Structure 1
Amino acid sequence: MNYEERDPYGMYKINPISASESGVRQGPGPELMGANTLIGNDVYNQKDENLGDIKEIMLDVRSGRVSYAVLSFGGFLGMGEKLFAVPWTALSLDTVNKRFVLNVEKDRLKSAPGFDKDQWPNMADSSWVQSIHDYYGTKPYADDVRV
């Protein structure tokens, strides 16, 4: 499922009159997206392999930034699935196919640090944060918290 299919307010729809006059999509997106419409979006890698879907988006409420997308991978009908916190900066939006892309081999994701839906890690723990960013080759946001 993609963000256009889960758009309760019609914010991603193209207004035929406005689009033909200006040639530009009206409303937000893809630079500014509703978090609720991104939950459930598919995630693929650059080899066009399905890596799962986004189950949750984790916000750092102190800095006002998106920290992680929680990706579900594996299992069948919710049984045996593993969750992964993927740094938001490791994902890119494929606006043509309306899905996210994570530059990770499917086999590498199988061995990524993950967790069970009933045992979430302490995502505020600095060693956990560093280990996740190291795994995906990203850098944590600087500690420039707004006051």
Structure 2
Amino acid sequence: MATANYSGAQTRAPRAPRALVSSDRVEGTSVYAPDGEKLGAVHHLMIDKASGRVDYVVMSFGGLFGLGEDYYPLPWDVLEYDVARGGYVTQIDRAALNTDAPHYSAHDEPDWDSAFPARLDTHYERARL
């Protein structure tokens, strides 16, 4: 429902939370570690062509002003949206990302072959503790 403000312009009432969100609103959303440290931001989503479901979120991590960033594919189910933070929280911390987490640079995108999801799942089963 729209209402008029003091200048006569129309403003929208705040929306109630919804189960669906546009991908362009997810991209750029911050990702936080359990302790509240900002790890990075959602760079893009990886969608399974057959099912239409989001399988992975590719998080940008490191770098400065977008330079030198690396990209870390994370299983979608390791993220939980936190309304208070306005971002996603994961149980994966910076140490787990800095060790041997699968990642790639902007100039070296991986081959998203059929074995890639298994490698990610294997890694993050260890890191989810």
Verify: 1:110 aligned to 2:82, yes or no: no
Q: Does 1:93 align with 2:81?
A: yes
The SS at the match of 1:52 is strand
Q: Which amino acid aligns with 2:48?
A: D
Listed as ranges, the gaps of 5+ residues in structure 2 are 1-10
The reply to whether residue 66 of structure 1 matches residue 57 of structure 2 is no
* CA deviation string 1:82-112 (max 9, x = no partner): 1011111111111121100111121111221
- Answering whether residue 89 of structure 2 is matched by residue 130 of structure 1, we say no
Deviation at 1:78, TM superposition (A): 1.8
Q: Deviations over 1:94-144 (max 9, x none)?
A: 112110011112111122110011221122x23221110111129xxxxxx
CA distance in structure 1 between the aligned counterparts of 2:14 and 2:94, rounded to whole angstroms: 34
The structure that has the greater radius of gyration is 2
TM-score, with structure 2 as normaliser: 0.80
C-alpha separation between the residues in 2 aligned to 1:52 and 1:119? 19
> How many Å separate the matches in 2 of 1:113 and 1:61?
22
Corresponding residue for 2:14? 14
Q: Distance in 1 between matches of 2:120 and 2:76?
A: 11
> What's the secondary structure of 1:53's corresponding residue?
strand
Pairwise CA RMSD: 2.1
Higher strand share: 2
User: After superposition, what is the alpha-carbon deviation per residue over 1:45-103, rounded to whole angstroms, capped at 9, x for unaligned?
Assistant: 11101110011011112111001111000111222211011111111111121100111
How many pairs does the alignment contain? Answer: 115
Aligned residue type for 2:80: S
CA distance in 1, matches of 2:106, 2:122: 22
Once the two structures are aligned, what percentage of the paired residues are identical? 30
Runs of 4+, deviation exceeding 4 Å: none
Could you tell me which residue of structure 2 aligns to residue 121 of structure 1? Answer: 110
1: CA distance, partners of 2:26 / 2:95:
25
Corresponding letter in the other structure for 2:106: K
